[in-house]
Amino acid sequence: MTSVGRTRGALIVFEGGDRCGKTTQCGKLVERLQSQGVDACMWRFPDRSTAIGQAINAYLAEHSSMDDAVIHMLFVANRLEKREEMLQLLAGGTTLVLDRYSYSGVAYTAAKGVPHLSLEYCKSLEVVLPAADLVLHMSMTAEATAARGGYGEERYEKVDFQRKVMEIFGALRDDRWAVVDASSTIEAIHEQVVATVMPVVERARGGAPLGRLWD
């Protein structure tokens, strides 16, 4: 998409089911990148701080209910409202580490199995957003994540549903994805993540073009 010059930051995304350790790994990665002199910051989607994000938060906490198509649009809008800022940061050389992105957007909605919310339809709403340079797929069985602390507090934390989400993540994988065994230790995962991310940061710095979803 946009030409961002020779020193752009990389767009690194962590995806996976609930409670698989994405947030911990995002934080550790940003710290490591910064310690190595890479300008980096972490964002989460949904971004619950905006007005749209607050409506999403109420839905996830089961304080409100919404039509499946409407909540899907809100998740998309929550990314679109950050699009400009995202592109500017990347163009300015900041590497963005995202805790979920459009891949969660399409996987969680398509997993509901609502006929008019197919994977293809969901994907079509995201095409104006940049593609990740790298998606780190924190892979773990739905049963194993369910055994982790805090599981079940939010709307989608149900084993059968998570199993469907994981199947769809599997189907979305392409050569920009790297699979990480999320059942491993925090430090072992972190080292694997760093080894996978560094060459991608270098490629972006060297001028590799930013892609567009789902080209």
Sheet-wide strand order for 134-139: 40-44, 95-99, 11-16, 134-139, 177-181
Q: Residue 203 and residue 205: Cα distance in Å, rounded?
A: 5
Residues 211, 168: Cα–Cα separation, whole Å: 21
d(CA 213, CA 83): 13
Residue 151 in contact with ligand 2DT, rule: CB under 6 A: no
Contacts with 145 (C-beta within 8 Å, 6 or more apart), sequence order: 17, 18, 19, 20, 151, 162, 182
Burial classification of residue 46, based on how many CB atoms lie within 10 Å of its CB (0-12 exposed, 13-18 middle, 19 or more buried): buried
Q: How many CB atoms lie within 10 A of CB 213?
A: 21
- Choose one: 84-92, 99-107, 124-132, 169-177; the region binding ligand 2DT (CB under 6 A): 99-107
* Stretch touching ligand 2DT by CB under 6 A, among 32-40, 100-108, 145-153, 201-209: 100-108
Q: Is 74 among the residues that bind ligand 2DT (CB under 6 A)?
A: no
For position 59 contacting ligand 2DT by CB under 6 A, the verdict is: no
156 binds ligand 2DT (CB under 6 A): yes
Of 84-92, 103-111, 125-133, 189-197, the window that binds ligand 2DT (rule: CB under 6 A) is 103-111
Nearer to ligand 2DT, 19 or 190 (CB): 19
Residue 45 binding ligand 2DT, by CB under 6 A: yes
Exactly one of 60, 80, 117, 208 binds ligand 2DT (CB under 6 A); that residue is: 60
Beta strand spans in 6-129 (E): 11-16, 40-44, 95-99
User: Mask of contacts with ligand 2DT, 104-143, x by CB under 6 A?
Assistant: xx--x-----------------------------------
Kindly state whether residue 73 participates in binding ligand 2DT, applying the rule CB under 6 A. no
Question: Do 140 and 98 meet the contact criterion of CB atoms below 8 Å apart?
Answer: no
Contact 29, 12 (CB under 8 A): yes
Nearer to ligand 2DT, 59 or 201 (CB): 59
The reply to whether 46 sits near ligand 2DT by the rule CB under 6 A is yes
- Work out which of 8, 82, 100, 190 binds ligand 2DT, going by CB under 6 A: 100
Interacting residues with ligand 2DT (CB under 6 A):
18, 45-46, 60, 75, 100, 104-105, 108, 156
